[in-house]
Chains A and B, each alone.
Chain A
């Protein structure tokens, strides 16, 4: 869980130290990790290579923004490129004469029938009049499955059992839907392998005779390296207009989506996110990109950090840190900026792997906020000279601060200890070592 790309890159850059610009060497080291992450997410090897080449071009010489660590900078570039590769979510092309035909194709078990029902429901909610046609005469009870779903949802459907040929059924189904005034017809087809010549010819026949406005490949998010050849195969034979990624509610990283998108060039239009019929959403490139990189919602976190930390202030703070002039006042300022990023719970949820951890250890937002308030109260109760030089705080001064802030001397000692720890780290930082920032709220 913790071997997400961001953690790995963090390790890489811990060793390299912080630098203002990403050098070629930095980038090369980081990209090896990126490549690994992509392969582990099932991005096809060749597709991953091309992708890395593009990132490399963008990353070398890129200025590291003040608010970001070099590792975060690389992630940002990778993430942006990934979003670009995944492309914008495609909309269904439903203009033109009614009824418009949508044909669903794909391998066995990818989820076509369920998707047909989900799509129909979505279209009806959009105010259209969808029909479903049972074009899978091969898999036992596939027709029953479609009919059961259609009845459940009260969507009109067309079926002829399993005796007729699927292209004939589809043609008659479209006609029946037209006669009944349908505006969209969804054709469910049998699952098939793209290397099965005869079965692929059947799809061609269905396409030629029903002239679909959309031919959508329904593909399992868990697909491995073969995604490339599967998508290519279907695209060459029937000409895809879009992709639907199913079973996205699982924990697969979903790199197959990049592969399929790269080789077909057609947009990803929807994602299936649950067994229930309403588990169906328009495609979100940003979310999928984070997931492929195994990053939770790291991007949102990085963006918030960028917004919350005032650039200029960050620079001043950094200079002070390096010169070891960091005071309790600065400490307070930093805490307040962290607070601006959102509640601790929210932040933790965005850190990869932390969402689950948080459930386990049950971090209490209110508790964290209370801690923060306490620290604020303590620092506010100090005189400016004490804030700049905490060594002045002898026993009697500590008692005064404790009384003024409504805390105890132990609280003050704990805070001072934490602060000294931080100063020690900053000294290391000044020497070019990159320490890990420990939990601030413990």
Chain B
């Protein structure tokens, strides 16, 4: 254990050392630009966005490196969308559809969201739309218990559309305000599974006017450039309205959100920062940008 700690502080020092050196009160050199590029690439910002940012910064005519940090933060900040409150009020029943690739954190995020909403005195119901993965229903039910929110589930391997249909009926008869629908994890490249997801969405559309009112894509914060492809494909299939980025308590920075916001205009609503029920917080663009300049959350 000692060696790891040392290892980490070594990384931290050298990282801060580099950035301080790069962005300290010195003249900007080509090395400075290399450092900026490295910082962004290593945060998973991606090549095109990094190039664009460096290009913009170069054209600002800044000569002192210490001015660069603030300029870079500004530019990054401008790429992010100020999140609006979820569109989940002003009607009898609002529906949130949750989707994403396998293991991204959908079920956990639903548990956390339901908990938040219940604390805000909203009447919430969860639909166990993942009938495929082994014990997915049990997992969601346990989260429902933790959050104090009921879960409507069907049989394993039954039609998710049918479960969703039942859940809507239950929501109506119980006077529920918000229905959150879990779905099985699926790779965006799998045509059949994406078609199944569209079907679930269509069932919701049919039985509740204008539903789903929010369609949230859950992205794993440790994902690299594939996150953009995921977002594109899910958006094409089911008109995603926003994103939840999970696992930002890890050492990953989640820099792929810049390209996603930039290219797809999708707002980020929540970030997941742990496995506890309270570990889901609103996305704050300023602190997110600041966190890119810190070396992880190790301590």
Q: Which residues of A contact B (CB under 8 A)?
A: 36, 39-42, 44-45, 107-111, 113, 138-142, 144-145, 147-149, 152, 193-195, 197, 200-201, 204, 220, 222-227, 229-230, 232-233, 236-237, 247, 249-253, 255-256, 275
Name the A residues within 8 Å of B38 (CB-CB).
45
Interchain residue pairs with CB less than 8 A apart (18):
A107-B250, A108-B275, A109-B220, A109-B247, A110-B103, A144-B134, A201-B1, A222-B227, A223-B223, A225-B42, A225-B224, A226-B250, A229-B11, A230-B222, A232-B7, A236-B4, A250-B189, A253-B225
- Cα of A53 to Cα of B135 in the assembled complex, Å: 48
Residue among B7, B133, B136, B223 making CB contact with A222, cutoff 8 Å: B223
Q: Is the interface of B mostly helix, strand, loop or mixed?
A: loop
Looking at A110, A144, A247, A252, the one whose CB has the most chain B CB atoms below 10 A away is A252
Q: Does B187 interact with chain A (Cβ within 8 Å)? A: yes
From A41, A197, A226, A230, name the one whose CB has the most chain B CB atoms within 10 angstroms: A226
A42 CB contacts on chain B under 8 angstroms: 44, 224-226
Chain A residues with Cβ under 8 A from B188's Cβ? Answer: 250-251
B52 to chain A, nearest CB (A): 14
Cα(A144)–Cα(B135), bound, Å: 6
Residues of B within 8 A of A (CB): 1, 3-5, 7-8, 11, 38, 41-44, 46-47, 101-105, 132-136, 138-139, 141-143, 146, 187-190, 220, 222-227, 229, 247, 249-253, 255-256, 275, 296-298
How distant is the Cα of A92 from the Cα of B7 in the complex, in angstroms?
30
Chain A residues near B135 (CB, 8 Å)? 141-142, 144-145, 147-148
Instruction: Knowing A140-B139, A145-B139, A152-B134 are in contact, say whether A193-B251 is a contact too (CB < 8 A).
Output: yes
Once the chains bind, are B42 and A45 in contact (CB under 8 Å)?
Answer: yes
- Residue ID in chain A nearest B186 by CB atoms: A275
Shortest C-beta distance, B115 to chain A (Å), equals 13
Asked if A197 meets B1 with Cβ closer than 8 Å, knowing A109-B105, A141-B135, A141-B139, the reply is yes
Docked-complex contact A230 and B251, CB < 8 angstroms? yes
Q: From A204, which residue of chain B is reached at the shortest CB distance?
A: B1
Q: Which residues of the other chain, B, contact A237 by a CB distance below 8 angstroms?
A: 1, 4
- What 12 additional pairs, Cβ within 8 angstroms, besides A144-B134, A222-B101, A252-B225? A40-B225, A109-B220, A139-B275, A144-B138, A195-B251, A220-B103, A220-B220, A220-B222, A232-B7, A250-B101, A253-B226, A256-B224
Closest to A107 in B: B222
Residue pair B296, A195 in contact (C-beta under 8 Å): yes
In the complex, what residues of A have CB within 8 A of residue B102's CB?
A: 109, 111, 247, 275
